[in-house]
Each structure stands twice: as C-alpha cells, then as structure tokens.
Structure 1
Amino acid sequence: MAVKGFDKFQFGCRLNEVLFASEPIRSIEHLFGRHRELDGIEKALFASGRHIFIHGDRGVGKSSLAATAANQYQSPDADYIDIGCAPDTTLKNIVANIAYKSIDASRLRKTKISSSVSLELRHLKAALASETTLNNLHEEIGTLTDAVEVLREAAALHSTQPVAVLDEFDRIADSNERAAFADLLKHMGDKKVPLKLIFTGVGKTLEELIGAHQSAIRQLEGIELSKLSWDARWDIVYTAVEAVGLTIDKEIAIRIAAICDGYPYYAHFITEKMLWCAFDDAKPVTEIERDHFLAGLSVAIDRISAQLKKPYEEATKRRGEEYEEVLWATADSEYLDRYAKAMFTSYEYVMRQRRNGSPLTYEIFCSRIRKLREEGYGAILVSDPDHPGLYTYREKMLRGYVRMQAEAHGIELAGEKIDQSLKQTMRVPSSLTRGYYVSKPPPGIHWERERRKFDDADDE
C-alpha cells in the first residue's frame, strides 16, 4: 500500500468516484469545462415544447453532458429515462421503451392512479394494472398520433418533471426513422406533452442527424460540443490526484492535458492508470512522479479500446518506425485540418528528437501521408478535394491515441516548454471556418510547430 490511508478496495472505490473512463458523468461537480453548455440547456428547457440535441465529434463528452443535464432537469420523484440507440432502432421502439420505463417507475414508487386519471389512460391503462412487455406496448403504436398519446400518458405516469435521454441517435441506420422524430417533436409541442427529450449524436450539424426538416426547428435547440478547454483537462487530473491524498507536478498534469487532445475519455483513462501505478509502487508515495506518469501511460496504451488501436497498428505494422514518425507529425497541432507542408515541419521537429535514422525528404513524406488515406494503412487521414494537400483525421478521437504513442516514445507534441507561472485560461471562439471552439494553450504550448513558413497555395 504505497498510498497512505487506502487499501486496494478503498483506493479503487475512491477512483471510481472521481474518474469516469467507462461510463457517462452524471453529476455537475465532476463535469469540468461544461458549465456554459449546461446553463444553455437549462435555460432552453424552460421553453414549453423545447428539446435538446447535443452533437459533435465522437468522444468529446456528449453522453456525460446529456446525463448531467437530465439529472439537473429531472424532478426528484424518479430517475431520468435513459434510452440507447442501435442501428435497428425505430421511433416505435423508442416510444415503447419510454412508456415501459415510465410504467416501471410508477410501480416502483407505488403511485396510486386516481380513477379520474385512469380514465385518461387509453394506451397504458391495462399495462399499468398488469405485467406487460415491450412488444405489447409496441403494438399500441400504430400511428404518429398514437406515439404522441403514449408519450403523454407515459409522462403523466413517470414523474412531475420527466426527461428522457436518447443517446447515440446517429447509430439509427434508417434516415427515414431519424427524420420521423422531427414530426414527433412538432406534434408533442402541439399537444403540450410535458416530456423533455435530450438527444446525442455524432455529427457537425443537426441536418446530418435528423434531416433538414423545417418543422423541427422551433422544437430543437442544438448544442455543438467542442473539445475540452485546457483548464478543464488538468482539473480532471488534479481532482483525482487530490481525492487520494496525493500531489502532482504541474508539468505532468499539463503533459496529460496535451496528450488527451481535448477528449475527456483520455484524461480520465490515463489518470486512472497513472494513479494505480502509484498505488503499486514499492515505496510510499506522496507525490505523483514522472515514472508513475510514464508507467500509467504505457498501461493505458496497452488497455485502450481496440477500435482506437487498430488503425494505428494497421498503419505501422511491419513498416518499421518510419510510419510512426510520420503519424506523430500529423498529430502535432490543435487544428484538425492541416496542410502537408505544415505537418512536414512537425515531422522535422519529431526527427530532431529521435537522434537516429535519416529523415524522409518532403516528397517521400507526402507519399507516406497519402498512404495513410488507404484502408491497408488504417484509413487514418482523409484529404479535402477542394484544397490539395489539406488533410484531417477520419476519426478525430484517434489523434489522442497517436499523441499517447508519441509521448510514450519520448516525443512531446504540442509544445515542451512549460511556463511555471501558468494560469488557467479562457476558452475563445475558433475560426468560423473550423466550426468549433478551442481553448488558449498554456504559455509555452504551441498549437503547431512551423519551423519554416510555406505558401499553402503551392502545397503539392
């Protein structure tokens, strides 16, 4: 027991209270960097008939924001309803699921439905009185009008102020099913159904997720979720470290903030593994040291989701270190879209740290970059057809894993000089062309390294 005051069970339980790599955050005290979005959702939900759609890149914390917002809005007489979407999910499935969970909540609270209210229950009256199944409720929904009426009755049974989260809405394969929700929301507003819906989905715009349906504009408020600000990233680290009675050097906290690329999952996961490495230390620990950080990073890389590891392995397997060095260069920037010549300056920086091997020429480097668009090389990058030489990650969250690999090999991306007078910084709007928010980095942390200036117009 290297950490004073904890045995293994106590230590694990304490970490589970402050780190959330495997499940959504549901409490506002652990949702760092999202207070502006939470406030916007709360204000929007005051409007009658208004619902929320949280969208953005995979891994930015949409489910956590939705769960926390739902907990904030839901009245205390029941838990909010949580519905996960799948490729074969339909509108009927979701409505039936909401009804089923509302009936269960009503039974659990031993709610007595008065005769006057019971007479108003056309679809769910029988289900309330006896055991029923999802299939039974599914059969009750023949039309959109039926769906709206079932939701009205479900809301009355569930709680005083009910809310349902429809998580990963983008997974619904049938675009017609997704588009049908626009009509549903409009009719729910017209009939004053008191149930609030919070959707989450991967996408840049609501049109991608629900279709360009004008009737849903008044009913939906879109919240586009950006990556975490720098101060939110290291707040995750500091909070967890302090929760187990330890301290951590500021530089290590900033390295984790830089590696995680603004994705909360990485910050939670790396910190969890780092703290377990400190717990397993043979000597007593009062402060997280660099060895704990590097050991935790190594464990995180080994245990991370296969979905994130596979493209990296496909790009680098049996190809030596050359492709790894090229990959690291692609992630040496806060900007999602980068020209090949800008990435080449990062590659030159990487190779100066390697101290072995001969750097690729610019022409060969560009050929390797082009290879990274192919399936046999992980299909990691995609190019912009309107801007020759401009690339972005196909799966944005993969950039964080690439940064983890670079750090484990001794390559510090996104700046290596730390200003010891570091202060927390504010989030500021990014360029409108990039369409998301970024945060100012700490002093000494660079968005990207351009050791030589290039004319992008001449790129490739």
Structure 2
Amino acid sequence: MIPGYDKHSFGKKLNEVVSPSRPIISIENLIGRTEELDRIEKALFAPGRNVFIYGERGVGKSSLAATAANQWQSADAEYIDVSCSPDSTINSIVANIASQAVAAKWSTSSKIREQVSVRMKWLSYSLESETSPTDFSTKIKGLSDAVEVLKEVAALHSEVPVVVVDEVDRIADEKEIDLLADLLKQLGDKRIELKFIFTGVGTTLNEILGAHLSAIRQLETIELPRLSWDARWDIAIHALSIFEVEIPKDIYIRLAAVSDGYPYYVHLIVEKMLWLIFEKEEIVTKITWDDYYSALDKAIVGITAELSRPYEMAVNQRSRDYEEVLWSTSADEWQGAYLSDMHEQYVSIMTQRDGKDALSYDKFATRIRNLLKPEYGAILKKGQKKGYYHYREKMLRGYIRMQAEANRIEIISKEAEATIKNYMRVPAKNVGYYKSQPPRGYK
C-alpha cells in the first residue's frame, strides 16, 4: 500500500516518473543526460544548426529528443513528432510535418485561419477548409516544394517551432538520405527558423548517413552511450522517493547491473516494483529482496517479443542445456567476449546450479557456435578476432541478464565490480537539472 493514492491517481503519477513504453518528455525524469541536454540547447541557439542523436537501440535517444524538444519548443504549441519507416521519403516526412502544423492551427477560430492563409501558398487551402486539413503528400513534388512548405510551417506553427524526426535509420532509400542532407543545407541557407532533432540507430553516424555526410555542417551530432551506473540507480531512487519508498543500496546496485545501462529495463523493473507495493495490504516504506525479484519476474513477462523470442528459441532446444550457456555470454561489459572467458563464466554459473553438471569445453563451444544460427535465435555473431563473439542485438544482453538474475544467478564481470567499487568511493553525479543527492549509504 502507498498512502494517499487510489488506483487511478497512483497509475497516473507512476507513469509521470517512469516510462518504459514511451519517450520521457520531462526534464525532471530524464536522469543521466544533463550533458547531452546542455549540448542540444547550445546547438539550437546557433542559426541553421540542427541536432542528430545516434547510438544503440534502447539507450534513450527518443526520450532525449522528446525532452529537448519539449524544453526548446515555445509554449504556444506542442513540438511536431514524425517517425520514419522503410518507405519514408523526404516528401512524405515534410507532408507529415505540414499536416501536424496545420492540425494544430486548424481548430482555432476562422478569423485566425483567414489571417494566416493570406500569407500562405501551400497551407492556405487546408487552413480555410471547413472539413479537415488537406493531405500534402500528393502536392509536394520536389525538394524546392518541401523547402517552401517548411518555411510556411515555421511561420504558422508557433513562435519557436521544433520537429523531432525519429528513427532516420529506417529510411531504406539512400537517395532520400541524400535529399535530407540537401534539405538541411537549404533550410540553413534560406534562414528558415525551424529546428530539427533527428534520431537514428547506429554505432557511427556513417552507418546512418552513409556517404551523405555533407549535412554534418548543419548538425550537432550526439552519440548517446548506455546509462552510467549512477544514472541507472538514480532512476530507481528518484522514482521510489516520489512515493516515499526507500530502496536499499545492495538492491539498487543489483538493479543497475542487470539493466545493462538501458533505461527501458530500469523503468520497466521499477514500474513493476511500484505496482507490487501499491497492491499490498500493508504500507510499504522500503523495498525488500522479495519485492525486487517479484518485480523482475513480472518485468520479464512484459518484455517485448523482439527480445524474448530469440531467448526462447535458444533455450527450448531438445538438449535443454542452453540457458546457462546463454547466461555466460552476458558477463562482459563490452558487449562481446572470447570463448574461453565465456566458458570460465559458465563454470562459475554451474557452481550455482544445484543438481546440474557442466558441459565439457568442447560441448560448450558447440553450443556457442549454434547461437549464431537462426534456428537458435541468431543471438550471437562472430567478431573479427578468432574465438570472439558479440551480440547481434546488443539490447538482448540486458534481457539475458534479467533471466539469470530471476534464477538467482549472480553475474557481474570484473569490469563491473571495479566500476561499483569506484562509485562507492564517490557521490553519484548530478542528474536531471536538479542537484542529485548521493545515493543513500554512499560516502
């Protein structure tokens, strides 16, 4: 039980402080990204400068973009949000932006629509319509049209308009990426006051923009890493403190380790944890290990099939000995490991599994190689060095760690142990825009 809340008010408040299913838009709850937010703000002050956020899947690019856009966008409108798909084109993206801009103004009075439409060429018909905003996708014929439409969007939408274009990496046609670079250049050259924040999945910007890097001059590029250790546990400490619930140091360290630096996992586990204690009959003021493991079990059930399906394909093999092998792949902090190191971790895991014998080194190696195959989930792929393997989908490692943790298997690498010891000697870093206090129990 959490005093002072019914189910509706609790659920509403909970989803203001943790958000595993959609991007965070509040700077108070975007923990661990202060430096990146500052860089974005300074970049957007520069005329003609836009922002490109890239990094691994699941590190919080959309949340950073949404929060930054929400902070920069003027209060007279909401920022425009566009998501890309494999068939997205520059014309379709601009049409979407125009439609959202018009929809925001379309509900205002006819007098305002008439006043604005006098100055507009592209958007006037839609503003004057008494039925619904028009579809711009058939009207924009080329890059020059797109530039003119965006010029009108900048004048129409709000005092300080911002556009978030999410998942640029999903655009399949390289010609469209080339057009994007040209569009950004023209927006700067023509002094159009419309700010863009792009996101994309990739370990380098070259993976997303390819050879079309001429847009770099118009972009502040931000590579977003996984969350630092202090940011991981600060999310939990902050969220639980809102409801006056304490989480002990040893539990939030374990939560930080199992999340692998992905905010999605931290938010999901904390969300399940808070619902569990809300539904208890007694008042809860401090998280227990039972609460933690129960929340972990529920979080695993709620994980997207994109992450759970490969794991299930691997462990449901006839031999029934792949689960411990999978766990052994998740120890290294650098998203990959040598076969010998994974086997060493595997032996350690098997000492924690009563009644189960370890596989021989050769059989273990065979299982690891099988994890490259589609019928085994295609979880791993070979590295450039002999005997080295890493994850095909890096975010999957956090899910594998969660599975091991739920089975009471402790997996912390030597690098992680060293990191934890370092953090135990210093306060947590400042998070959000407020001054974070050191985690409880730290000096």
**1:66-215 counterparts in 2 under 5 A?**
66-108=65-107, 110=109, 112=112, 118=117, 120-131=119-130, 136-215=135-214
Q: Report the more deviating stretch, 61-70 or 210-219.
A: 210-219
Following superposition, the deviation at residue 34 of structure 1 comes to 0.4
2:387: which partner in 1? 389
Whether contact under 8 Å (1:11, 1:244) holds in the other structure is no
CA distance in 1, matches of 2:44, 2:12: 34
SS in 1 for 2:244: coil
Answer with 399-408 or 121-130: which moved more. 121-130
Query: What is the distance in 2 between the residues matched to 1:93 and 1:138?
Result: 6
Unaligned runs of 5+ in 1: 428-441, 443-460
Offset of residue 396 of structure 1? 0.7
Which residue is equivalent to 1:227?
A: 226
- 1:116-160 CA-to-partner distances (Å, cap 9, x unmatched) read x75542222222222576764223311211110000011100011
Cα offset, 1:387, TM superposition = 1.0
The equivalent of 1:458 in structure 2 is: none
Q: How many residues align?
A: 425
Deviations 1:334-374 (A, max 9, x none): 11122111212211221222233221222222211111010
**TM-score, normalization by structure 1:** 0.87
Q: Go from structure 1 to structure 2 and tell me whether the alpha carbon gap of 1:242 and 1:108 turns closer, same or farther (over 3 Å shift).
A: same
Displacement, 1:284? 3.4
**Shift of residue 313, structure 1, vs aligned partner:** 0.2
Counterpart in the other structure of 2:17 = 18
Aligned residue identity for 2:405? E
SS of alignment partner, residue 137 of structure 2: helix
Gaps of 5+ in 2: 431-438
Distance 2:351 2:429 in 1: 33
Distance 2:378 2:317 in 1: 17
Q: Helix, strand or coil: the match of 2:356?
A: coil
1:255–1:96 Cα change, 3 Å: same
Decide which moves more: 392-401 or 336-345. 336-345
**1:301: how far off?**
0.9
Secondary structure (helix, strand or coil) at the match of 2:53 reads strand
Shift of 1:222: 1.3
Q: Which residue pairs with 1:281 in the alignment?
A: 280
Would the alpha carbon gap of residues 214 and 4 (structure 1) be closer, same or farther in structure 2, given more than 3 Å must change?
closer
Aligned equivalents of 1:132 and 1:204: distance in 2?
Answer: 46
Corresponding residue SS for 1:391:
strand
Structure 1 residue 407 and structure 2 residue 405: aligned? yes
Which stretches of structure 1, 4 residues or more, deviate above 6 A after TM superposition? Answer: 132-135, 416-420
Q: CA 1:45–1:369 in 2, change beyond 3 Å: closer, same or farther?
A: same
Give the structure 2 partner of residue 253 of structure 1.
252
Letter in 2 for 1:409: N
Determine what percentage of the aligned residue pairs are the same residue.
52
- Whether 1:325 aligns to 2:333 is no
Secondary structure at the residue paired with 2:196? strand
Residues 252, 422 of structure 1: CA spacing in aligned structure 2 closer, same or farther, 3 A cutoff? Answer: farther
Does the Cα contact within 8 Å between 2:117 and 2:127 map onto a contact in 1?
A: no
Q: Deviations over 1:308-336 (max 9, x none)?
A: 11000000104455211111111012111
- Answer whether contact 1:97 1:134 (CA < 8 A) is retained: no
